[in-house]
Structure 1
Amino acid sequence: MSDRSKKQVMLERMNEKKKEVRKIRRIVLIVFLAAMLLLVIGGAILYSYVAGALKPVDPDSEETVTVEIPIGSNLDSIAMKLEEAGVIKDNRIFKYYAKFNNESDFQAGTYDMSQAMTPDELLESLKTGKVYREPVFQFTVPEGLNLAQISEVIEKNTEFTADEFMELVTDEAYINELISKFPNLLTEEILNEQIKFPLEGYLFPATYPVFEEQPTLEMLVEQMIGATDQSISPYREAISEEERTIHQVLTMASLVEKEARTPEDRKSIASVFVNRLEEGMPLQTDPTVAYAHGKHLERTMYSDLEIDDAYNTYQNQGLPPGPISNAGNSSIDAAMNPAETDYLYFLADPSGINHFTKTYEEHLKNRDKYLKSGE
């Protein structure tokens, strides 16, 4: 082949390569522009969807819908309820909007909401707990009550009898159902054969509004359990880190609740129990003896201490099998955050003032000083 022919072939190949490069560049440009267009269109669609989801469902609506937010509801469940009620368009967008704005501490209650309300208006209503409907009735469960005493509160305030209440809260099938409904609160620990009543200590002391004309007994019980679930929620991480269980915390809190005469005493009493547990000493708290006997004891006599029962903390070391009563927030907090003391003993004088000591000798002196003088 002549030199001219070789040059011609080389020029033709170079021209073909240039054409291929131009084609590839055009293809890359077209793909890039298409991707950018899709990105812009997708972003516009997403923006439009989010913006639409944050607008009232129907700005002109004058109708209201009743939405009930139970005690213990979290943001996820609240958002779902609002979407189911038709007052928001997308529960996920509402949830992210609330989190982005650091909105929390929503109040339980029954609300009359409208599709004309904005997300901000809905959040404000939920935060302030503004209840638009008056409860049909309400009942109050005081602190320090056991299940039998709570049954009397139910009988006094509802159409259900104390026996019907006790039959429900001791029903094995219902207990297992509740364990499934409240898995973060109720565990297999409450099924310990030594426990007298599985739900003892799990019905929170509070005032409960009831918005149903004819509520079921199950609704009332689960309202109280839900309140306990909500009350213990702030401590879950600490409980796990300390390798304790919620059942143990509620058991300790119930002892503090029964022994404390004033709010100031709770953390000191809790410290006595903690110190005794660490020393391997029995707790020796009289309310557990009364619970073992199943009745109120005006005074705990030496003969009372002889009862052979797992709840008798004079005869058994460690915590009793379970709570002996319900406990309020301050007692739960004391069980989680006891005072740092060296106290191992305390007693209450006739006026209800507790006196704490580090040694048994000091305790005996206090007993002679505050108790024997009044006998």
Structure 2
Amino acid sequence: MKKSKSKMITIIISSIALVLVALTVGGYFYVDSQLQAVNASSKETIIVDIPKGSKVSEIGDILQENNVINSSVIFTYYVKYKNETNLKAGKYKLSPSMTVEQVVNELKRGEVIAPSKLVIPEGYSLDQIADRMVVYKPELQKADILSVMDDKAFVNELMTAYPDTVTKDVLAPKIKHPLEGYLYPATYEFTGKTDIKAMISDMVKATDANIAKYKPELTKQKMSVHHFLTMSSLIEKEATANVDRSKISSVFYNRLKEGMPLQTDPTVLYALGKHKSRTMYEDLQVDSPYNTYKYKGLPPGPISNSGKTSMEATLNPEKTDYLYFLANTKTGQVYFSKTLEEHNRLKEEHITNNQ
């Protein structure tokens, strides 16, 4: 009896030891994978602005937001473990092909850059565009750029110059920033003396020119430019490289038709005015007309700019019965569902079990 009991105890201890070893090995390989490059073969360069006074976790969030690192959390633990206390603020040219160690070394060297062209990516907010403008023209101050963007007299000038695009909708009482979503994502080059108004005007002009081809369809669907750009921005912020945007568009339209709140996380982050890798439950409580968890319908205006693909998806949603979708943040794969039950099952399978 004693021998049997002793044997059982030995088996239990051995089993526990094997589990601990498996967890340790699994954890090691996971952390190691997160320290590697997002895309080792990428030739893309990304301008990243690290503001003065940023905490390590905030730097990690900015880097992840810009697709330079895999995980803000792992980056933070790495920096603290290595005791890297001399990361410098500034504007850097980084790449998804860099490992966390290489990124940290760049931030330690503090060799900032100013690009020869102003590249405005799709899905950028005015705040992010202002950051890019400062990188491009270091003599500019971000506060001055944002002030010009929100200046009603200047906005009125743009309304006069581009009446078919910039309408009175941009000055509605609940609008956070009048020109949000109206600065077209493209590559610009400005020579000579820096003029903030001229730079912004050119971006609005590009939006006006690109929307022109959609005017007949907008008229046919009785859709205002403001509504068009607002919906396009939501699709832009929710889309990944692996998703059909017309399906996301269909989900939003289906929810609007059913009188359901859109419940899209990017609107919450826009309301908070923060860049975060994850939206927490407490974030969803923010009382803002842009919070589509609290308020039904579209937000008051766009939450970012949007590109051609999202614009076309806005006008041409796929015909589906989908009311939900979720994205696996590790793979970028997006899963669509018709019912809450199915959505929760997919969430458990692809999100909860993979955290």
Name the TM tier (shorter chain). Answer: 0.5 to 0.7
Counterpart of 1:147 in structure 2 is: 126
Deviation of residue 155 (structure 1)?
0.4
1:179 aligned to which of 155, 159, 181: 159
Match of 1:292 in 2: 271
**Whole-Å separation in 2 of the counterparts to 1:277 and 1:176:** 31
Distance in 2 (CA, whole Å) between partners of 1:277 and 1:263 is 24
Match of 1:363 among 322, 340, 343: 343
SS of residue in 2 equivalent to 1:190: helix
For residues 285 and 276 of structure 2, the distance between their equivalents in structure 1, rounded to whole angstroms, comes to 14
In 1, Cα distance between equivalents of 2:117 and 2:327 = 34
Partner of 1:271: 250
Q: Percent identity of the aligned residues? A: 45
2:53 is aligned to none
Q: Report whether the alignment pairs 1:312 with 2:299.
A: no
User: 1:346 is paired with a residue of what secondary structure?
Assistant: strand
Contact 1:249 1:332 in 2 (8 A): yes
- What is the rounded CA distance, in whole Å, between the counterparts of 1:205 and 1:330 in structure 2? 12
Shift of 1:195: 0.7
1:253 equivalent in structure 2: 232
Deviating 4+ runs (over 4 angstroms): none
User: Counterpart amino acid of 1:216?
Assistant: D
Q: Distance between the aligned counterparts of 1:170 and 1:302, measured in 2?
A: 31
CA contact (8 A) 2:242 2:334 kept: no
Aligned CA RMSD, in angstroms, stands at 1.3
Q: Which position in structure 1 is the counterpart of 2:313?
A: 334
Of the three residues 217, 236, 242, the one matched with 2:215 is 236
Q: Which runs of 5+ in 1 are unaligned?
A: 1-135
Q: Tell me the CA shift for residue 137 of structure 1.
A: 4.3
* Shift of residue 351, structure 1, vs aligned partner: 1.4
1:197 aligns with 2:211: no
CA distance in 2, matches of 1:219, 1:174: 11
Q: Is the 8 A contact 2:242 2:332 kept in 1?
A: no
Instruction: Report the counterpart of residue 188 of structure 1 in structure 2.
Output: 168
Per-residue deviation at 1:302?
Answer: 1.6
Moved more, 154-163 or 361-370: 154-163
> Which of 202, 221, 225 is equivalent to 2:204?
225
SS at 2:188's partner residue?
A: strand
Match of 1:344 in 2: 323
Gaps of 5+ in 2: 1-114
Return the alpha-carbon distance in structure 2 between the equivalents of residues 262 and 137 of structure 1: 27
Determine which structure has more spread, i.e. the larger CA radius of gyration.
1
Residue 177 of structure 1, CA deviation: 1.1
| 1:339 shift after superposition | 1.2
- Partners of 1:273 and 1:344 within 8 A in 2: yes
Q: Distance in 2 between matches of 1:225 and 1:274?
A: 27
Q: CA deviation at 1:215?
A: 3.9
Instruction: Look up the equivalent residue of 2:188 and give its one-letter code.
Output: Y
Deviation (angstroms), 1:196: 0.5
Amino acid at match of 1:358: K
1:292-350 alpha-carbon deviations (Å, 9 max, x no partner) = 11102222122111111100001111000000001011111111111111111000013
For the pair 1:323 / 2:298, whether they are aligned, the reply is: no
User: TM-score scaled by structure 1?
Assistant: 0.62
Q: Distance in 2 between matches of 1:319 and 1:340?
A: 20
CA contact (8 A) 2:242 2:333 kept: no
Could you say which residue in structure 2 is the equivalent of 1:105? none
* Conservation of the 8 A alpha-carbon contact between 1:143 and 1:326: yes
Cα deviations by residue, 1:153-205 (Å, 9 ceiling, x for unpaired): 00010132211111111111111111111101001100011110000000000
Task: Single out whichever of 221-230 and 293-302 deviates more from structure 2.
Answer: 293-302
What is the SS of the residue equivalent to 1:154? helix
SS of equivalent residue, structure 2 residue 244: helix
- Paired AA for residue 313 in structure 1: T
Q: How far off its partner does 1:265 sit? A: 2.2
Rounded Cα–Cα distance in structure 2 between residues aligned with 1:227 and 1:263: 27
| CA contact 2:262–2:298 (8 Å) conserved in 1 | yes
Q: For this pair of structures, how many residues does the alignment match?
A: 239
Does the 8 Å CA contact 2:243/2:334 hold for their aligned counterparts? no
1:144 and 1:190 map into 2 onto residues whose CA distance is 18
**1:127 aligned residue:** none
Contact 1:151 1:165 (8 Å CA) reproduced:
yes
Distance 1:152 1:209 in 2: 16
Q: One-letter code of the match for 2:318? A: A
2:164 maps to 1:170: no
Check whether the contact 1:263–1:330 (CA below 8 A) recurs between aligned residues: no
In 1, Cα distance between equivalents of 2:242 and 2:129:
22
Matched residue SS, 1:202: coil
